[in-house]
Structure 1
Amino acid sequence: MQYRELGHGLKVSALGVGCMPMIKGGNIVYGEDADPDEAIKTIHRAIDLGINFFDTAQIYGPFQNEELVGQAIKGKRDGLIIASKFGFKFDNGNIVGVDGSATNAKTAVEGTLKRLGIDCLDLYYQHRVDPNIPIEETVGAMADLITEGKIKHIGLSEAGPATLRRAAAVAPISALQSEYSLWERDIEDEILPTCRALGIGFVPYSPLGRGFLTGAFRSLDALPDNDWRRQDPRFQGDNFAANLAIVDAVGEIAGKHNASHAQIALAWILAQGQDIVPIPGFKRRVTMEDSAKASDIALDASDLAKLDAAAPRGGTSGPRYGERGMKMVRL
């Protein structure tokens, strides 16, 4: 496994693991229910392959995902980079809004550390920017947690350029996590250049387009009734059909390299810069092992040109979230 450096000396494997799909049931379901035992074996196998970067969040479950990751890393903590996120408020386990207050930043981390069974979190993200709380307050509280030895690095998720600049003026920001893939490239306009100007590493979530780019299905009917993606605008009606052109382009390059669609989609992201570390979501060893090979694939100029032509910025059909979700990103 190759390794890369995010911001401020945070060294991680070139590919991380998004742990969100690993719990059975929960509030965000992709495909069939996960088998928790297989999910834990997937984390163990990833460690064996040299992957050291694992991403979870308070909201996943909620809470159950951090507990599962905690079970998986017990006795294997050394050398791992464990990331989690806070930033929502709950009522009886239900998410009822965002909360970027200093109090929540400091209270939430205590629960996260307990569920993970660790005493210090390597990377702590604000999951969504709270428009009602100055980012200076949020990041200031997170900086206090570094002083207290409870976290090592600060991250933000789905923050816009102005917010990034204000945050970085308070404390070093090591990573920005936002959606980035062949079918979601808008961060290339302002957000990625801002990260690079500030020395902030970039961590793409959904680097496989929520599974769409893997070519695993060509109809919405292939997804279970409770699959979260059934409400994703890009999976709906004419959008689905139009977006298959991107999948076909990925498939053409995959054939040339004797690789899977997932490997090519991830290799494209890895080719966008050494400061970029994608975290595709897994719940089974077979898919994780397949994707882990992406770091060994070198796309040539012709490959990159064909993919750029098939999936230009703004070329994907449909927004990446519904109206409510879009109001919470790039603030």
Structure 2
Amino acid sequence: MKLNETARIGLGCMNLSHAYGTPPPEQDAVALLNRALDIGYNHFDTAALYGFGANESLIGKAVSHRRDEFFLASKCVLVPDDAGKRSLDGRPETIKKTCDAALKRLSTDYIDLYYLHRYDKNVPLEDSMGAMADLVSAGKIGAVGLSEVSAETLARAHAVHPIAAVQTEFSLWTRNADIAVIDKCRELGTTFVAFSPVARGYLCGTLTDVNSLGERDLRRTMPRFSAENYPKNLELLTPLQEVAEELNATMAQVALAWVLQRDAHIVAIPGTTRLSHLQDNFEATGVTLSDLQWQRLDKAINDQQVYGRRYNDAAQADIDTENF
């Protein structure tokens, strides 16, 4: 199975193990992954970073017996260091070591799509890409992807080995990829994978109080979710709610439909820990916005209207994507 043969809504698996406070009990996560396959999801996205390997292990335990039913994507370069802290390491030997460990955790002998989770600028890009090409030649991965890179970096990497996918945050409130990356993906025949397409829950319309977020929730570090900015951002949601009512859809479904209608080569990978949201998200492919509705949302919620940056300084330092 190739990425362009999968459903346009895939499953981002990160929050089953990482980033959004206390993850669900393992038995619930296992049930959700299997339910996703039953519904029709056939693209699962994980990474070595998520839970420092725990997310890959979860997928291996939960659905490796159904391996032929889904396209599997994972990532390297963002890895835990010897002290158990997040580190950036794009050296060829680390990439290969990370892949071998991932294969073991995932209980599989191949990963369909393997991303450089970030571009480690301390290592020549051509060296990191050479390691990825070696993994393809060894049959350990099927294709190479990049995450959070600029159009220039994409072109450089593609000159070493074809890039099957670029994964970047993209939603109504995050449009960095509109500057150049989406166009470059179209030019090169690269699939664009939108992560956080419902803006980490913001576009669902249900997160009304950021004080309810757990102490370990990643959103607490993000300026858009600050106590000062988030109430202002909530005021921007009225047009999204109105369009959802017009279409008899959820706000999340409308937000996903907006992303998918941006370009035919885009797929989205929303994450969730709830079975009801799992079903709703997958059914977003059946929601069609009129041109007027799409443009109305386009103008109502975007980088110019939103209050706050998407990342703090520390997180932004690892990002190569163009900025407004």
Q: Normalising by structure 1, report the TM-score.
A: 0.93
Structure 2 residue identity aligned to 1:21 = N
2:227 pairs with one of 223, 230, 237: 237
- Counterpart for residue 215 of structure 1: 205
Computed over aligned residues only, the root mean square deviation of the Cα atoms, in angstroms, reads 1.6
Q: Supply the distance in 1 between the matched residues of 2:194 and 2:311 (Cα, whole angstroms).
A: 16
- Counterpart for residue 104 of structure 2: 114
- Counterpart for residue 291 of structure 1: 281
Confirm or deny that 1:125 pairs with 2:121: no
Confirm or deny that 1:324 pairs with 2:318: no
Confirm or deny that 1:203 pairs with 2:193: yes
Contact residue 99 and residue 130 of structure 1 kept, 8 A:
yes
Structure 2 stretches lacking a partner, 5+ long: none
Structure 1 residue identity aligned to 2:296 = K
Give runs of aligned pairs for residues 7-86 of structure 1, distance below 5 A. Answer: 10-23=4-17, 28-86=18-76
Contact residue 76 and residue 95 of structure 2 kept, 8 A:
yes
- Counterpart for residue 179 of structure 1: 169
Partner secondary structure for residue 310 of structure 2: coil
| Number of equivalenced pairs | 321
Structure 2 residue identity aligned to 1:111 = A
Q: Quote the offset at 1:323 in angstroms.
A: 0.3
Q: Quote the offset at 1:68 in angstroms.
A: 0.3
Q: Quote the offset at 1:276 in angstroms.
A: 0.6
**Which range is displaced more, 172-181 or 281-290?**
281-290
Identity of aligned residues (%): 39
Q: Quote the offset at 1:313 in angstroms.
A: 4.1
Q: Supply the distance in 2 between the matched residues of 1:29 and 1:136 (Cα, whole angstroms).
A: 31
Q: Supply the distance in 1 between the matched residues of 2:79 and 2:19 (Cα, whole angstroms).
A: 21
Q: Quote the offset at 1:15 in angstroms.
A: 0.4
Q: Supply the distance in 2 between the matched residues of 1:83 and 1:49 (Cα, whole angstroms).
A: 19
Q: Supply the distance in 2 between the matched residues of 1:90 and 1:29 (Cα, whole angstroms).
A: 14
Write the deviation string for residues 269-295 of structure 1: whole angstroms up to 9, x where unpaired. 011112111111122211111111100
Q: Supply the distance in 1 between the matched residues of 2:21 and 2:86 (Cα, whole angstroms).
A: 25
Structure 1 residue identity aligned to 2:20 = Y
Q: Quote the offset at 1:110 in angstroms.
A: 0.3
Structure 1 stretches lacking a partner, 5+ long: none
Structure 1 residue identity aligned to 2:298 = D
Partner secondary structure for residue 176 of structure 1: strand
Q: Supply the distance in 2 between the matched residues of 1:248 and 1:18 (Cα, whole angstroms).
A: 27
Write the deviation string for residues 11-45 of structure 1: whole angstroms up to 9, x where unpaired. 2211010101113xxxx432553122121111111
Q: Supply the distance in 1 between the matched residues of 2:131 and 2:51 (Cα, whole angstroms).
A: 25
- What stretches of structure 1 move > 4 A for 4+ residues in a row? none
Confirm or deny that 1:95 pairs with 2:85: yes
Structure 1 residue identity aligned to 2:110 = C
Confirm or deny that 1:252 pairs with 2:242: yes
**Which range is displaced more, 174-183 or 94-103?**
94-103
Write the deviation string for residues 289-321 of structure 1: whole angstroms up to 9, x where unpaired. 111110000110121121011013433211111
- Counterpart for residue 292 of structure 2: 302
Structure 1 residue identity aligned to 2:16 = M
Contact residue 48 and residue 79 of structure 2 kept, 8 A:
no
Q: Quote the offset at 1:165 in angstroms.
A: 0.7
Q: Quote the offset at 1:96 in angstroms.
A: 4.5
Structure 1 residue identity aligned to 2:256 = L
Q: Normalising by structure 2, report the TM-score.
A: 0.95
1:312 pairs with one of 302, 307, 311: 302
Contact residue 214 and residue 260 of structure 1 kept, 8 A:
yes
Partner secondary structure for residue 67 of structure 2: coil
Contact residue 185 and residue 314 of structure 1 kept, 8 A:
no
Contact residue 139 and residue 171 of structure 1 kept, 8 A:
yes
Q: Quote the offset at 1:62 in angstroms.
A: 0.6
Q: Supply the distance in 2 between the matched residues of 1:149 and 1:245 (Cα, whole angstroms).
A: 50
Q: Quote the offset at 1:113 in angstroms.
A: 0.3
